[in-house]
Amino acid sequence: MAIARDQDVELTVTTLAHGGLGIARLDGRVVFVSDAIPGETVRARVTEQKKSFWRADTVEVLEASPHRREHIWAEASIERAPEDRAGGADLGHIDLSHQRELKQQVLRESLARFGKVERDVPVEPVTGDTGVNGLGYRTRISLHVAGGGTVGPYAARSNRVIPVQSLPLAVAEVAEAAPLAEKMVGVQRVDVLLAAEGGARLIIDEQAPSPIVERVGEREFQLDDGGFWQVHRSAAQVLTDAVQEAIIPERFDAAAGNLDLYGGVGLLAAAVGDRFGERTRITSVESDERATEHAAENLADWLGARTVNARVDRFLVDLEGAVGTRGAKGATVVLDPPRSGAGREVVERLASLAPAQIVYVACDPVAFSRDVGTFAELGWRLEKLRAFDLFPHTHHLEAVGTLVPIDA
């Protein structure tokens, strides 16, 4: 029987794909299903039909998983039509501990498929999150504005603005400052953020940046209010601790040409310096000019620290061609690429420079696994791995892995 787009079908979901969608099969065809949990049978509406797969949205749960809960965000619930569901909390209908089990499975399967590595580690909760059901952790929220001035998040997998009355993942100060009830005609985007000082603030479209201060322990970091900083209130501390733990001390040489690649405002370079002392040599490389300027200020405590404003791939080409230096030989490299991963070119150039160890901070399990697979082809192994639930009620996770040469 031919099935048309917008037709309802009955599906049994077997597993969770990277991206938070359930996987089901219909007449042998893969169907990616939103708002479903592995083990459930649902009635779903077909929304997209490609040659290799279809997409569908759950409209009714016929046989519910024991892990299903009332959605933490009423505006994202399946009680609403799929096109009217707010995006940004795609696992909000699943028990929090089971969310972490599903993310663990996604990381494990990604590593096996793309990295050819058998590794299974728990996705660790951030202290304090479990007791509040993973709510109220975001210090940064991006909202969008419809043509008539309505403010809200986009619908899932859409650029349609959804009016909402609440922001359950935001810290209280951000939720209170968000202009959800206002009409903002002529505006396209509103970012709401809470820094360590000064209370919550709004950033309207691409207004001129203002400096803010964030803190990790006793250390302060300067950055622009529109610049990148982790959204979870505790993420910067969690990743600082994780990177420090991931570095194998016996393989660390403070005098080597240590690198912090995709370094941002210097958070992880500072983590290395705090672990191994003020004379640690480390170069933080970042393509954003303003972030590099802030990194120079933030790393001023370390005599051996310097910052370079450059694309990582071009920096590595220059480093490879440098004459009369050790380059990165014997160095420790912290690698924190964007969601798309470092990619083959960067991995190949980095491996050719013969560092002693690479600490890879990853926000995408598939991109990370692909890069791990490339490193393996080049004679490296994944020595250590941890994973963290820095984005409760979403499919995102953060992983920190240590790679060393196979013959090490």
Residues designated catalytic = 363
Q: Going by C-beta distance under 8 Å and a sequence separation of 6 or more, which residues neighbour residue 260?
A: 266, 268, 269, 272, 282, 283, 284, 285, 333, 334, 336
Q: Is 336 annotated as a binding residue?
A: yes
List Cβ<8 Å contacts ≥24 apart for 176-184. Answer: 176/200, 177/201, 177/202, 178/141, 178/143, 178/151, 179/143, 179/151, 180/143, 180/151, 180/152, 182/149, 182/151, 183/148, 183/149, 183/150, 183/151, 184/145, 184/149, 184/151
Three-class SS of residue 132? Answer: helix
Q: Which helix (H) or strand (E) holds 49?
A: strand 41-49
Q: Is 230 annotated as a binding residue?
A: yes
Cα–Cα nearest to 236, from 258, 195, 268: 268
Q: In the numeric block, which tokens belong to residue 32?
A: 């990616």
d(CA 35, CA 193): 28
d(CA 375, CA 407): 13
Task: Convert 158-193 into a string of H (helix), E (strand) and C (coil).
Answer: CCCECCCCCCCCECHHHHHHCCCCCECCCCCEEEEE
Q: Is 286 annotated as a binding residue?
A: yes
d(CA 341, CA 370): 8
Q: Is 176 annotated as a binding residue?
A: no
Angle at Cα 124 formed by Cα 106 and Cα 231, nearest 5°?
A: 90
The DSSP secondary structure of 5-46, one letter per residue, reads: TT-EEEEEEEEE-TTS-EEEEETTEEEEEET--TT-EEEEEE
End-to-end Cα distance, the chain:
59
Helix axes 365-377, 96-110, angle to 10 degrees: 30
Q: Going by C-beta distance under 8 Å and a sequence separation of 6 or more, which residues neighbour residue 27?
A: none
Query: What is the number of other CB atoms lying within 10 angstroms of the CB of residue 317?
Result: 14
Q: Give the residue ranges of the annotated binding site for S-adenosyl-L-methionine.
A: 230, 262, 286, 336
Q: Give the residue ranges of the annotated binding site.
A: 230, 262, 286, 336
